[in-house]
Amino acid sequence: MADDLTRLSATEAAAAIRARRLSPVELVEAVLAAAERSQPVLNAFVTIAAEQARAAARAAEDAVARGEPLGPLHGVPFSVKDLTNTAGLRTTMGSALFSDNVPGEDAVPVARLRAAGAILIGKTTTPEFGHKPFTDSPLTGVTRNPWNTARTPGGSSGGAAAAVAAGLGPIALGTDGGGSIRIPAACCGILGLKPTLGRVPHIHAPDLFGNNSYIGPMTRTVADARLMLRVIEGPDPRDPYAAAALPPDPAPLPDGLRIGWALRVGNRLLDAEVEALTTAAIRSLEAMGATIEPVEIDFAAEEDAFLVLLQASLAGRLASYLPAAADRLDASLRETIARGQRRSAAEILAATARRTALYRRVVALFERGVDVLATPTLSAPAPAVGLDPFAPFAVGGGTGEAGRIRGTWYPYTYPFNLTGHPALTVPCGRTREGLPVGLQLVAPWHADHRLLDLAERLEAVRPWGQDWPEVAA
What is the set of active-site residues?
81, 156, 180
Spatial separation of the C-alpha atoms in residues 155 and 178, rounded to whole Å = 10
Beta bridge pairs of residue 217: 173
Closest-CA residue to 101 (of 84, 117, 116, 113)? 84
User: Can you tell me the distance from the alpha carbon of 165 to that of 389, in angstroms, rounded to the nearest whole number?
Assistant: 24
DSSP conformation class of 204: T
Dist CA 444 CA 291 (whole Å): 18
- Cβ atoms of 392 and 407 closer than 8 Å: no
Measured in whole angstroms, the distance separating CA 197 from the mean position of its chain's CA atoms is 14
Crossing angle for the helix pair 24-42 and 50-65, to the nearest 10 degrees: 160
- What lies within 8 Å, CB to CB, of 14 at 6+ separation is 72, 73, 74, 75, 76, 117, 227
Q: Residue 176 pairs with which residues in a beta bridge?
A: 214
| Coil vs helix vs strand at 137 | strand
The CA distance from 415 to 373, in Å, is: 13
Nearest residue to 81 via CA among 164, 172, 13 = 172
Choose among 114, 109, 113, 136: nearest CA to 125: 136
Q: Which residues pair with 327 in a beta bridge?
A: none
Give the residue among 175, 141, 177, 140 at the shortest CA–CA distance from 161: 175
Report the candidate in 210, 198, 220 with the shortest Cα–Cα distance to residue 109.
Answer: 198
Residue type, 388: D
Instruction: Please give the Cα distance from 240 to 234 (Å, whole number).
Output: 12
Q: What is the residue-wise DSSP string for 233-260?
A: -S--TTSGGGSSPPPPPPPPPPTT-EEE
- 167 sits in the region (left: phi over 0; alpha: psi -120 to 50; else beta) called left
Q: Distance (Å, rounded) from C-alpha 12 to C-alpha 422?
A: 26
**Residue 261 belongs to what H/E stretch?**
strand 258-261
